[in-house]
Structure 1
Amino acid sequence: MPALAMPMPLCLFLAFFLSAAMPVLGQAPEKKEDEPKKADRHVRFLPVGDLPPFRQEIRNGIAYELEPPAGSIPPREVVLGSGDDSKLSAPLLLGQVTEPFKVPAGKGPLTVRRKGDDEKSVPWLQLDRPEEGDFIVLLWRDPVEKSWAATRSLVLPEDLESAPPGTVRFINISPVTVGVVFGAEKLELLAGKSFRRKLEIGKDTPFELGANAVAGGLKRFYSGSLFQNDSERSVAIIYRADGVDPRLPLKAIVLREPVELPAKKDKKAPK
């Protein structure tokens, strides 16, 4: 008679079951191919204003350029901190947009310090990040203090929905309402506000900017035209002139740039 099989002891059974199950339980779930990847978000800075007069002195028959007066230009380089360990260095030049810098998702503080300042020092500038999307920060010096040590700022969204290609944004950071003649339109742009218009691609669109004169009507301070290709966008920023004895109280800077569109995904061939 064959010997009867003895039942496996409970402790051996549990050890065998767990050793078989461990690889499955410890395996990380596979990522789905169609799962959307979280896109990085970025910030750029645009300091706006007038350069101080060029100064030089002669030493032993050689001309040397003098440093601009303190507070007459923005810091030459700043360091960005977002409340975490990531820090980015950005040169600031009047009338030029910085390269984009990555910032964390969600709302939170964005501190800007002069390069070389101690991390415990008072930041040169502190902003609140918008909850989502790319954004640009317009900077200008305080008109009362007349120094970049006291800096004003305006945070604006800069994603493809807010500033798509084929459009122009008019932004008024001056303290007064500005009249805008754009093609056949006549518009008022309040202080601190902006609006967007479509541009006809490959064709010049004339526009004028003016402020209310004492005797009524508009006193024009800028006249020009806008031209764009289909993958470009423009911005026109109106600001208070902050130079020495400016001829006009208001000025404008107009910038045009290409827009990087997201790559189109190739459709998968049916299996």
Structure 2
Amino acid sequence: MNLPFLHLIALSLYALSCITGLGQEKNGPRELRLLPVGDMPPFRQEIRDGVRYELEPDPGSEPPQMISIPLTKKKSVTVQLALGTFTESLPLPATLQMCRLQKAQGDETELWSQIQLPEQGDCAVILWRDPQKNTWDVVRSMVIPEGPVTFPAGSARLVNTLTANSRWVFAHKTIEVKAGGVVVEKLPAESVPVQVSVRDAEQNWRVVFQSAIGQGDDERSNVILYRADGEEVRNPVKLINLREQVNPEPVGVVTPP
């Protein structure tokens, strides 16, 4: 058997699988994840007849617990929200462009937010409370593309939900993530020191985070800057790092020789 010929066939199949993978990421049914970020409401309690009772959080101090998303006129999907945690991946019709997030309370729903989705591809939506109103009744959002090509294993997705630019100083390079911007950076499978600064009102760089980001070969990291929105805040900016394992390649994908 001609070995160079077999080598050429293997390379051709690998290239075809890559092209197919790209097409699958952009076309057809897709998925959506939601991530609310912010501070937890303070724990409060009162004593009645010698018994301590936990008080309900103030209205608007946390996101709605349940969200309903209409998919068609007759079908919708319901998902639970939790601060600092991605929801499960929700299947969406390929034709859905305007995503309506509705507060779900029993059989009743109330419009909470409308989000314009990209024409194609999976995506994640970062949610945070409006900084002027400072209530979850009015929500801001950022839509971020997802998938094995745009956000592969071994990378960190640096997300800046602030209205100020940010600077990320790694050992090997410095990255500026503009206000409302996203940068996906390849990182080694080890603990990587990083210092994160943001522009303050005087346009000076102020350090808000100084530690390390670590992940495995089969993991990726969502590193998100957001405004501290709790009571008696010491640092106006906070950072959350959510590591996740990337699903392995589907069976049948040809690896290069």
Shared fold, TM over 0.5: yes
CA distance in 2, matches of 1:264, 1:72: 45
Deviation at 1:180, TM superposition (A): 1.0
Report the TM-score, using the length of structure 2 for normalisation. 0.82
Question: Which amino acid letter does the alignment assign opposite residue 34 of structure 2?
Answer: F
The answer as to 2:120 corresponding to 1:156 is: no
Question: Which amino acid letter does the alignment assign opposite residue 246 of structure 1?
Answer: V
Distance 1:48 1:160, change over 3 A: same
Identity across matched positions, percent: 36
Q: Is the 8 A contact 2:71 2:96 kept in 1?
A: no
Structure 2: state its 5+ residue gaps. 1-22
CA distance in 1, matches of 2:167, 2:128: 21
Q: Deviations over 1:190-220 (max 9, x none)?
A: 100111111112x111111112356775321
Aligned to 1:63: 52
Aligned to 1:209: 196
1:71-220 correspondence to structure 2 within 5 Å: 71-116=60-105, 123-201=111-189, 203-213=190-200, 217-220=204-207
Aligned to 1:231: 218
Q: How many residues align?
A: 230
Q: Is the 8 A contact 2:103 2:110 kept in 1?
A: no
Report the TM-score, using the length of structure 1 for normalisation. 0.78
Q: Deviations over 1:244-267 (max 9, x none)?
A: 121111111111000113312188
Distance 1:178 1:63, change over 3 A: same
Deviation at 1:82, TM superposition (A): 2.6
Task: Select between 65-74 and 180-189 the one with higher mean Cα deviation.
Answer: 180-189
Task: Select between 145-154 and 126-135 the one with higher mean Cα deviation.
Answer: 126-135
Higher radius of gyration, 1 or 2: 1
Deviation at 1:50, TM superposition (A): 0.6
Structure 1: state its 5+ residue gaps. 1-35
For 2:236, which of 221, 225, 249 is the aligned residue? Answer: 249
Q: Is the 8 A contact 1:206 1:225 kept in 2?
A: yes
Deviation at 1:114, TM superposition (A): 0.8
RMSD over equivalenced CA pairs, Å: 2.2
CA distance in 2, matches of 1:157, 1:216: 30
Deviation at 1:182, TM superposition (A): 1.9
